[in-house]
Amino acid sequence: MKQVNILGIPFTNMDHVTLVQQLQLHIEQREKSFVVTANPEIVMRAHDNSYYMDCLQAASYITADGIGIVKASQLLKNPLPERVTGYDIMMEFLEIANQKKHRIFLLGAKEDTLQRAVGNIQTHYPDIEVAGSRNGYFEWGDPTVAEAINEAQPDIVFVALGVPKQERWIAENFSKFNKGIFICVGGSIDVVAGDVKRAPMKWQNMNLEWLYRLVKQPSRWRRMHALPRFAYQVLKQRADRSS
């Protein structure tokens, strides 16, 4: 499998369609897989925290969830084909699960948000079996979370615990499972529930979804501090390669 190294993170060099096909193959073969969708903020968090870096490097696939990652790969002259976001993967697999009657499990969000999301999924995807759900408010070492997932035997687990909790939780518990695609989807359950609106398509097409979210949620500005640091470190990586 081809990879693109950006500041120590091995990004999977696949487009959206190829990745989905590969993950579907894992489901059919009853294999397990761990999918991270990483943006510059996640990369810089891993750059600063070796344990979190280890968690990311344990993933089966790492996709470019942000135009900044794609631009960085181009600067490093090893371009990734496109953005592959957690939300897009989730929506694609809801369609697939509906067609193939896959079992899904949702982990994360507040309880009322989670139940609205489950209700919307059952309404719009009637052939999906929601094998189980658990909100994101639990003690870190609580063994009942993994036990509930194992008992449900889902084909797909959407993990929406936020960064860095979701990547850490999967990495630390992955060995407890013998099947299932575990996908980090961030705030996607909030969108499925209808609590948060995704950026309009014109913003997405202009690669300005990050700006739309910042306008709608000004508190996110603190997270933008990672972007200039990310750009500097990528330029440094390119210079180091050239020297």
Q: Give the chain's residues under pLDDT 70.
A: 197-224, 243
Distance from C-alpha of 4 to C-alpha of 84, rounded to nearest angstrom? 14
What pLDDT shows up at residue 66? 87
- H or E stretch covering 112: helix 111-124
Domain boundaries, the chain: 3-242
**Each residue's pLDDT tens digit, 70-129:** 999 999 999 999 999 999 999 999 999 999 999 999 999 999 999 999 999 999 999 999
Dihedral pair phi/psi, residue 158, rounded to 5°: -95, 115
Indicate the pairing of strand 9-12 with strand 180-184: unpaired
| Architecture field, domain 3-242 | 3-Layer(aba) Sandwich (3.40)
What pLDDT shows up at residue 81? 96
